[in-house]
Amino acid sequence: MTDARPIAIFDSGIGGLTVLAALQRRLPGERFVYLGDTARLPYGTKSAETVVRYAVRAAGFLAGHDAKLLVVACNSVSASALPALEEAMEVPVIGVVAPGARTALAATRGRVGVIGTESTVASGAYERALRALRPDVEVTARACPLFVPLAEEGWWDHPVTREVAALYLEPFTGGRVDTLILGCTHYPLLRPAIAAALGDGVRLVDSAEAVAAEVEALVAHRDLGGKGGGGVRLLVTDAAARIDRIAGLILPGTAVHLELVDLPD
Ligand code: DGL
């Protein structure tokens, strides 16, 4: 059996494209529909109630595109709104926090750092996910709110980004953590600047690969494979020219054409 319905992916902006790129590598025959809620970005500075409201509206919109499953490629949404989305959607919903926590635990010797948006860090979602699997793990978390605008600006390895990274990441240097979770889907874009600030000896965990592996397993298990075709639709709620340019950099093999959409209340 084949299931030609698309896999829906959702983020507040371009960060989730790092997850889409990993999904495309693993599941080249699938169709994808990506929604970046760029008109409401950033989500990560907003309250959990607002993030839930935005997320449920975006998921409802994607359900209208006949998606066969929803990948929540946003840590801020995964941290605060996953139960609400699971309740609202009839199809499986996969978030990024649990796969990221599992990958970190497979890598760590016991001291894990977490960086994310203010709302992800305030939610404590990573600490809970990590401690549920390994109660004695040491966790240090810090919000890095300037990283999202720097990533959206395309300043991925800019001197300003390196300076900001050095300030934010100081608590993770000097052997205080051995593994750092990039708990925001924008942050893998800043990987060189983050790695430079940390120096050697800290393993960086990006949940994109772990999420893609989980989606691949789910598609196989539930016999949801699309087999053939492929293709990506990129929907945004505000189509700034720079998003077009940056999407092209994250998805080099994909013809990028942004479609402007409005999310009904
Ligand atoms: N990419 C989103 C995340 O993973 C955050 C971006 C935002 O603040 O909107 O949390």
Q: What is the pLDDT of residues 113-126, one digit of tens each?
A: 999 999 999 999 99
Q: What is the pLDDT of residues 62-116, one digit of tens each?
A: 999 999 999 999 999 999 999 999 999 999 999 999 999 999 999 999 999 999 9
Token reading at 134: 């390994």
Token reading at 13: 């902006």
% the chain with pLDDT above 90: 81
pLDDT tier for residue 241 given thresholds of 50, 70 and 90 = confident
The arithmetic mean of pLDDT across residues 207-236, rounded, is 88
Is 184 near ligand 1, meaning CB less than 6 Å away? yes
- Residue 189, Ramachandran bin (φ over 0: left; ψ between -120 and 50: alpha; else beta): alpha
For 146-165, b/e burial (b = at least 16 CB within 10 A) is ebbebbbeebbeeeebbebb
Q: What is the pLDDT of residue 228?
A: 63
Q: What is the pLDDT of residue 152?
A: 86
Question: Which residues are the active-site residues?
Answer: 74, 184
What distances in angstroms separate CA 99 from CA 45, 103, 106, 213, 252, one per listed residue?
Answer: 23, 6, 11, 9, 25
Burial of residue 67 (CB within 10 Å: 0-12, 13-18, 19+) is: buried
pLDDT exceeds cutoff 80 at 130: yes
Report the C-alpha gap between 185 and 198 in whole angstroms: 19
Is 119 near ligand 1, meaning CB less than 6 Å away? no
Mutate which of 41, 76, 77, 80 for ligand 1 pocket (most atoms within 8 A of beta carbon): 76
Report the C-alpha gap between 110 and 98 in whole angstroms: 17
Helix (H) or strand (E) holding 205: strand 203-206
| Domains parsed from the chain with CATH numbers | 7-95+209-260 (3.40.50.1860), 97-207 (3.40.50.1860)
β-bridge mates for residue 180, sequence order: 113, 204
- Residue 9, Ramachandran bin (φ over 0: left; ψ between -120 and 50: alpha; else beta): beta
Report the C-alpha gap between 224 and 221 in whole angstroms: 8
Token reading at 33: 């529909």
Q: What is the pLDDT of residue 258?
A: 87
Whole-number Å distance, alpha carbon 37 to ligand 1 midpoint, is 10
Alpha helices in the chain (DSSP H): 17-26, 48-63, 75-88, 97-107, 118-123, 125-133, 147-153, 159-169, 191-198, 207-221, 241-250
Report the C-alpha gap between 13 and 152 in whole angstroms: 8
Higher model confidence: residue 194 or residue 208?
Answer: 194
β-bridge mates for residue 232, sequence order: 32
β-bridge mates for residue 94, sequence order: 71
How many residues are present in the chain? 265
Q: What is the pLDDT of residues 136-186, one digit of tens each?
A: 999 999 999 999 999 988 999 999 999 999 999 999 999 999 999 999 999
Token reading at 181: 């979770």
Q: What is the pLDDT of residues 43-68, one digit of tens each?
A: 999 999 999 999 999 999 999 999 99
Q: What is the pLDDT of residue 255?
A: 77
